[in-house]
Structure formats: C-alpha cells, structure tokens
Amino acid sequence: MAEQDRDDFFAETKQFEELMMMYECAIKEVQTKLEILDREFSVRYRRNPISSIESRIKSPMSIYRKLHRDGLTVSVKNISRNLNDVAGIRIICNFIDDIYDIVRMVAKQDDLRVIETKDYIRTPKDNGYRSYHMIVEVPVFFSRSKQIMKVEIQIRTIAMNFWASLEHQIRYKKNIENMEGIEEISRELYEAAEIIAQTDRKMQNIKNKIDQFQDIAQDDRKEKAEWMR
C-alpha cells in the first residue's frame, strides 16, 4: 500500500469512527427526550404510553450493502448524506392510540425536525408489516461544533413487534426466499399479521370501554361530593 493510500485509509477510518460516535450520541439525545415525554405522560394521565425503547446503529456491513445497492461508493460523506437509518430507535407501545400520541408529542418538540413519515399501520406493507416510521433531525452539541444528525424512529405495539421480529427471523435469517413453497409461507405470514392486527384493535376497543366506565364513575363521584356539601 502506497504511503498516500495508507494515510487516506487511516483518515477515512477515523472519520467513520467519529461519525458512528455522533450517531450514538444522536440516539441518546432522542431517547432522553422520549423518556422525558413518557415520564410526563405517566404523571399527567397515570399511565405510560411507552412499554420499552430499543436502539441500534447499523453495522458496517449493512451500511456497505445499502450504499452498494443504491449505486454509491462507500464513504463517510455518502453515509451522512444518503442514509437516513444508520441510527435507529424502536419504541414499543401497549396500544395503537399510544403510537399516535407519541407521534404528536415528537412532532411538537422545538429542537427536533421531522423530515419524513411513513404510516404502515393505516397502510400496511404487502407482506402485512405494520409500524409507524419517522425520520427526525436532532442537533447534537460537541466540544467543537454542533452537528445535525438523522435518526429513524419506529413505533409499534407489542403485537406488531412480535410479528415483525419473527417474520424477520423466518424470512431473512433462515434464507427461505428461494425455497420451494415460499408463496404459501408468505401467505401464512400475512394471515398471521392480519390476526395480530385484529387483536390490537380488539385490545384498543377494550381499553376505550374501560376508560369510558372510569370517566363515568369519576363524574358520579364528583356529583355525589357536590350533593353532600
């Protein structure tokens, strides 16, 4: 390896490490905001819309494959300019309504900018996949500069995440795309997604009924207290 090539390689490697560090910090910024919103919600409404939060940074191989698939050379500049999902956060909610509560709260944050949304809940993918995706830009303050970083946020119910996790393991990790009978497997996976979606809607309806009963009971208690004065 020529001396100049070696220096270029080491410089690019250092820049890549710094970029991954920036993405990690961006995840921390967004995750902290989400935890604060969830805590505030729990105090105001006595329940938590967020069941859990997961995060990840794309692996170097995944980054390479995506750039290669898009016909782009592998460089730090192309990563930051062309990839929106290097840093990812997954929010798991209990109910469908919680997802849209989170979406609205995130969109109201002054120092976050939502640059893209995809609602795969109201319009599922052809394979049955359901989730709400947001790409946000968040400022991250370092010792020498402020960097605007992109983070992908996926918001799902527990049931949606259950299906998506198993579908990914079955379809991709088992390398079944070219096996005989894949059409039948795809159909059964789609049917399972529909059953899970029906369960999500059923649980949401049950929760709504309970909320209505509690509201009526609270109104009755207030009326009784006023009468007793």
* Nearest in space to 63 (alpha carbons), one of 49, 54, 73, 51: 73
CA atoms of 96 and 107, how far apart (whole Å): 17
| pTM, entire model | 0.86
Number of Cβ within a 10 Å radius of residue 40: 11
Instruction: List the pLDDT tens digit at each of the 229 positions of the chain.
Output: 455 555 555 578 899 999 999 999 999 999 999 999 999 999 998 889 999 999 999 999 999 999 999 999 888 999 999 999 999 999 999 999 999 999 999 999 999 999 999 999 999 999 999 999 999 999 999 998 999 999 999 999 999 999 999 988 887 655 666 677 778 888 999 999 999 999 999 999 999 999 888 766 565 555 545 544 5
Helix spans in the chain (H): 3-45, 60-69, 76-82, 96-107, 158-168, 182-228
